[in-house]
Structures are given as structure tokens and as C-alpha cells.
Structure 1
Amino acid sequence: MSTSGPGRGRDDLGRALLAQHPRGEQWRQLDVTIANLTFEQITRMGSLGEERASDRQAVRDRIINRISDPELAGRLASRWIRWKDTFGLPMPAELDDPIAVLQHPYLLARQASPDHSGWHKVVLPVFDAGLAIAAAGHDDTGSADYELLIAPWRQTCLPSRHTATDAYGPHTQAALRVLRHAEATPAGVVRRMGRVCAEIDEQRWQAACDTVTEASIAWGFPLRARSLYWETVPAAEDAVGESPTDTAVVNALWGAAISQAFAGRLDSDTSALLASAWRTAGLPLPG
């Protein structure tokens, strides 16, 4: 698992926008369910998403083409980048055009060869749900569009037994305390953590990340680790007061947080390496 990637983090729709949006709570539910998707759920969503495929594409095009608020378009495009990274999808060549970014996963699924289109298509219901929640209208047409696009995710993932308090498993709160502590730590200390993390041998760090990925898959929740990475991004940006910030800073905080979230699921050497930059700064870990 690479621990780098463009885009904003968990709060990429913005606290103010979410607070004012009539479907803001659903967006938060979507966040939690993505972190806890199983391969079985992804497959089921993909199968449901194949129903009325041409109607769905028409609705996607209509909603995207009607987005007139530049802030909403930009923030939603940032989330698309995050999800593309989370699902391992190719990035669009042009990142500066939000509408092109929003269209890209659908274009990718249509243009992919039959041998490679399966995964591209099976994850589209996640993008559909995000598009429906954030941008579908509230008139009769918009409500019908919303219902069509939201259905595969809602039928597969709701009700969910997970909430934001346990989105990354039973040690979620310990992981989130790491991020809150980082936000309250002097920026210079956090930057030093980033420098320490950057000095770790790249192969050793990648091996540790691969171990985390394997543990996440074995746990049955293949996206938990990467979802926590993206929650770490805004915490790192807040901690050092810049956006975007150095990937090494994000990695240092994510390593400490994931060592807590995956407590008992990683070998001691991997956990120690992941948390090493944090410990070098003399900061305590909750666990």
C-alpha cells in the first residue's frame, strides 16, 4: 500500500457545507460504510449497479452537468480523487477541471477493455452514492435521480452496524486520539516527525505498509487502512498549517494511528516501525 496521494482528506466537503447540506448525515454514513466495505458487499453493489445501466448513466450526466457551484464541484472532485486512490483506480490526466474529474470514473469504466473493466465498474455505486447525496436535486426529477443512484449502496450497506466511533474497528478511538494529539502538538514537532519518517528506508516502510494491507484484508475489511490514511491527511494539514502538506508528515501520523487501530493484528516489528517517528518525538501512544 502506497502512502501517498493527491486530494483533500475526510473533510473534503467542508464542515460548513456538510452542516448546511440536507443530506450531510448521509455523507457521514457513506464515509463509515466505505471504510467497512467487504469484498462481498463491493461485488453485490456492483451487481445492483448493472441494473438499468443506461438510465444510471443518463442520470450521472444530468447531475454532473447541472453542478453550477464551483466550490461543490471542486470539493466533490477532491473526494473522487480520494476514492480513486482508495480503490486503486487510475487517476485522470487533468486534475484541474472538476467536471472532468467527476466524469472520469464513468468514462474509465466505459472505455476499459473487457478484461479490465470489472473492477472499474464494480466500484461505481460508491461514486453514484456520493454524487446522489451531494449533488442530486430536491425537486421531483432530482429526487428520482437520487433514488436511482443511491439504491445499490443503500440496499447493500444500510443499516450499518458501524458508526464513526468504530469506523476502524474496536481501537478506533485510540487511533483518532493520535490524530487529535497531533493537531494540538506544535507544528515544529510534527514537522520533525515527518523528517524522521522520510529517513526510514523506503523498502522497509513499504514492507510495513504491505503488511498492514494484508492484515486489513485478513480482517475482512480491505479498505480500513487506506480510509484511515485519508482521515489522517486533514489532521496532518491542520497540525502543520499547510495544505497540501508533506507526504512524510502524513505518513508519520498515519503510521502511529494505524499501529493503534490495528493493535493485535500486526507483528511487533511492523508496529514499532510504523510508530517510530511518533515515538522519536517523545509523544505517548494511547495503547
Structure 2
Amino acid sequence: MAKHYHEELEALQLALVRTQMAMTGSDAKSDARSDARSDERVVIVLEGRDGAGKDGTIKRITEHLSVRATRVVALPKPSDRERTQWYFQRYANHLPAAGEIVIFNRSWYNRAGVEVVMGFSTATEQEAFLRDAPDFERMLVESGIRLVKIWLDISKDEQAERLEARRTDPLKALKVSDMDKVAQAKWAEYSAARDVMLTRTHTPFAPWHIVRANDKKEARIAIIRHILNRIAPPEIAAEVKLPDPELLFPFEMAALEDGRLAK
């Protein structure tokens, strides 16, 4: 993979550009819009443990896409006012219009992950989320949004190495958070929360796909391949290989016990 990574990445990024051109009807030379646009709306949800590689993956996805038609949403903790709103409201405000791709770097699934482990919400609120999230996503899909949900999974040892590298590298200082300090200590609690989340919110209309992300480069390639096969026009998707099923696969209950998900 290392030898051909950049060549493969460039080809996939070109396919992403062509896909966005089809969505927006843009002309490659003039950036003009035409009636040929598909007006697709895409939401990509990337979730995973601290250090799983979400930021780097998003950077490679968006590197050559239009800044006007691509948005990355990474919301801070809710304000006092937002805490009184319907839980999904502040996320709904960021949903795409025609021709747009929105990537949630963490999403409404905060309630099923960090909020569970750290006690930032009540058990009643967490249960309501698990009940309501599939309905919320069904409404998104039925409205015409293409929803792609990916969980980046890494081993405990790999997370420890990445968090240490983050802590000691001055260029990664902005990535360091208070949550890093407890990620390893509460590894088992995060695993349990992940398993409940995947089990309760994996649905036929909004399925979860798992990527084994210990190798960052392999994971990025697999994720972009998967996204293209989900959102690209048929003629573009036909040119893109499916990701290795040993590396990226649809969630199933067996994965909780057979070693494909890190414990």
C-alpha cells in the first residue's frame, strides 16, 4: 500500500471531484452551473475513538473538493440555550442543500459515546437517543439525503501510540483534548458504548460500516472507495474498486465477538 498509496489516493480524489461536478453541474473549466446537475445531498458521518484518524481522513476527502459545496461540521459542546433544544436540532441546522456534501466529524452520536462514558447526559436522555436516532435518520434518507455512516476502529495499543504522538508533537498541540486523558483508562466503557450504539442504530436504510483503521493509509483508501461506491454516479462508481471486505465491512452482530472490533 505504501508504494502505491499516493497514486491510488490521487485517482480516488479525482473521482470525488468528478462526483461533485455531477452533483453541482459544474463545468471543470468555467465552474459554471448547468441543468445537468444531479442536486444530490450527501451526509457523511465519521465516528470512532479518539485518535482513530477521522481528521486525516476528512482532509484527504475534502482536499480537492469545492469549499462552497463541501462543509465539515465539528460542533463544540452545546451552549446553555442549545441544551434546552430538541437534541437533533443543532445538527439539523447543518444539513446539506442541493449539490452539497456535509461531513460530520463526530455527530449526533456523541450522545451514544462520550456522553455515556463521561456522564454528560442522563440514562433517560441516552435511551431516548437510541430510540429516536433511527427515526431521525430514516427521515433524512426519505427526504433524499444520501447518508453514509462509518465507524473507524483501532486497537488499544494503536490508540495509546497515537495519543502519545499527539501529546509530544508541537504541531499536533491543537488536537490534544481533556478527553485524551481518559480514552485509555475508560477503554472498556467506550467499547461497551460503541457496541450498544452499533447494535441499536444499524438499520437497513442507514447502516453502519466498520473500517479497521490501525493502518491510516489503508483506512483512508478504503473509506474513500466506500463513499464513492455509495454516492458517485454509476459510471464513476463502476471505475472504483470495492474496499477490501477484511478492512471495511457492514456491521453485523458477529463482529462484536469474532475479533473484527477491538475490545
Same fold (TM over 0.5): no
TM-score when normalising by structure 1: 0.23
TM-score when normalising by structure 2: 0.24
Which structure features the higher share of strand residues? 2
